[in-house]
Amino acid sequence: MSLKLNLDKLDLQIIQAMMEDAEISYADLGKKLFVSGGTIHVRIKKLEEQNIVKGRKLAVDLKALGYDVIAFIGIYLEKSSLYDAVAKELRSIPEIVRLNYTTGNYSMFAEIVTKDIQQLRFVLHDKLQNIKGIERTETFISLEESFSRNVVVDQ
Amino acid sequence: MSLKLNLDKLDLQIIQAMMEDAEISYADLGKKLFVSGGTIHVRIKKLEEQNIVKGRKLAVDLKALGYDVIAFIGIYLEKSSLYDAVAKELRSIPEIVRLNYTTGNYSMFAEIVTKDIQQLRFVLHDKLQNIKGIERTETFISLEESFSRNVVVDQ
DNA sequence: ATTGAAAGAGTCTCAGT
DNA sequence: ACTGAGACTCTTTCAAT
C-alpha cells in the first residue's frame, strides 16, 4: 500500500479536477491550473505509477440497462472468524457488486444489483442463505438513489 | 428516463467490454468484436446521446489520499414524509458521498468517507444529529473492503 | 521539475457501399 | 448500418532550461 501524501498542491488540484471531469484534455487542464500540458502529463503518469490514480471507469446508467434493483444487505455471521470463507463465496456471486467487513450490528455489508425483485429474491434465498456461516441477513431495498458522488479532496 | 433495451447485442458487448476496460481504443475494441473502429465510435456516441453511457470517471485510491474511513449509516426519520427535506440537508454535507431512500429498518441509507474517525465523529455528532427530522442513526464502519466491482451485463 | 515542439496514437467525420 | 480513409485532436516523448 502506498503511504500518504508526498503529494503537492498541484497533484491534488489535478486529482480534484479530474474527479469532476475525467475527460478534460491535459492541455485544457494545464491552462486551468497555469502549467503546461506536459507537466499535467508527467504528474498523472507519476500518480498512476504510484497507484493513486487507477485509471478511468465507464459510467453507465444501470436502470437503462434493465438493472432496476439496488439492495443493501446486512449479514450476520455465526462466528466472525468465518469472514474470509464467506467473503470468498460471496465474491463468486456476480450480482453482489460490493462487500465490506464492518463494525456494528452486522458482520458484513453487501450491495446487490439485479434486474428485478424476483432475481433479488433468488440471490437472497437460493444463493446467500445456503452459504455456510451466514446466520441471517437483513435487506434494505433502495427505492431511490438521492445522489452518489465523489469525495471532495481538500488541498 | 430512457426506456429499456432497444439495445442490440453489439451495444451490450461494447458496454461490457468498456466496463472491464474503459481505456481500450475504438480500433482495438472493434477488432475484439469483429467490427470497424468507426462502428464502435458511432455506437458509443449513440449510447452517450441516450445517456446510457455517461462518460468516464477517474478511479482513485482514497486511502492513498488520506481518506481512510468508510462508514455506512442507517438513518431513522421521525416521519418518512421528511425524506426530501432531510435529503437536501444531507446533500450539503460533502463527506456524505451517497444517499439512498430504502425499505426496511432504516428510512435512508448513507455512505460517509472521512480522513479519520475524529472527522467521522464530527460529521455524525455535529452535523447529522442536528438535522431536524432525523430520529437516530446507526453506524457501520468498514474495516475492510473485500471487493467493489461492476455488474456483469448479460447479452 | 517544467516547457514547448515533434512524433505517434486516438477520435471524429464523411463519402461510398 | 458498416467501412475505411483523411482531418483533426490528444497523448507521449524528448531536448533544452
Give the CATH number of the domain where residue A13 resides.
1.10.10.10
pTM here? 0.95
B35 and B88 together in one domain? no
**Among A4, A7, A140, beta carbon nearest to B104:** A140
Q: Which residues of B touch A50 (CB under 8 A)?
A: 64
Q: Summarize the confidence of residues A9-24 as an average pLDDT.
A: 98
Q: How many domains does chain A have?
A: 2
For the domain that residue A78 is a member of, what is the CATH number?
A: 3.30.70.920
Strand partners, B118: none
- What proportion of chain A, given as a percentage, has pLDDT over 70? 97
Cα dihedral across residues A61, A67, A73, A75: positive or negative: negative
Note whether residue A95 is domain-resident.
yes
B54/A57 touch (CB, cutoff 8 Å), yes or no: no
**Among A61, A103, A148, beta carbon nearest to B51:** A61
pLDDT tens profile A93-114:
999 999 999 999 999 999 999 9
Burial class (CB in 10 A: 0-12, 13-18, 19+), B93: middle
- Domain of A35 in residue numbering reads as 9-49
A72 and A33 together in one domain? no
B32 and B67 together in one domain? no
A99/B62 touch (CB, cutoff 8 Å), yes or no: no
Note whether residue A30 is domain-resident.
yes
A18 and chain B: CB distance < 8 Å anywhere?
yes
Who touches strand D, with Cβ under 7 Å? A 25-28, 37-38, 41-42, 45; B 10, 30, 35-39, 42-43
Note whether residue B155 is domain-resident.
no
Note whether residue A4 is domain-resident.
no
- Please report the residues numbered 91 through 130 in chain B whose beta carbons come closer than 8 angstroms to any beta carbon of chain A: 91, 94-95, 97-106, 108-109, 113
A41 and A67 together in one domain? no
pLDDT tens profile A137-152:
999 999 999 999 999 9
pLDDT for position A101: 98
pLDDT for position B1: 47
d(CA B26, CA B10) in angstroms, rounded, equals 13
A33 and A75 together in one domain? no
pLDDT tens profile A38-86:
999 999 999 999 999 999 999 999 999 999 999 999 999 999 999 999 9
B38 and B72 together in one domain? no
CA distances from B152 to A94, B55, B56, B117, B131 (A): 7, 18, 18, 34, 38
A27 and A71 together in one domain? no
Low-confidence ranges of chain B (pLDDT < 50): 1-2
A–B CB contacts, 8 A cutoff, strictly below = 207
A131 and chain B: CB distance < 8 Å anywhere?
no
Question: CA at B149, C1' at C8: how many angstroms apart?
Answer: 33
